[in-house]
Amino acid sequence: MKLKPLNGRSVPDPARGDLLPAEGRSVEMSSYWLRRINGGDVTEVKAETRVSAKDTNKEGGE
């Protein structure tokens, strides 16, 4: 899952030994990260769905 810290928070990443970057990072789910989520320190970054040009420019009048 990809997590990012809430604004103004510095959240250690114990697996990497540094801080979770502001843009977020993929981490392995663990009790540590569940506590950070429940404590309001981090939030999950939802995967963005990409729409192709083919899907947005559907042909009509067939």
Supply the pLDDT for residue 30. 96
Q: Where are the domains of the chain?
A: 2-49
Instruction: State the Cα–Cα distance between residues 23 and 5, nearest whole angstrom.
Output: 8
Residue 36 contacts residue 28 (beta carbons within 8 Å): no
pLDDT tens-digit profile of 4-45? 999 989 999 999 999 999 999 999 999 999 999 999 999 999
Band of pLDDT at residue 46, cut at 50, 70 and 90: confident
Instruction: State the Cα–Cα distance between residues 42 and 4, nearest whole angstrom.
Output: 5
Which position has the higher pLDDT, 46 or 10?
10
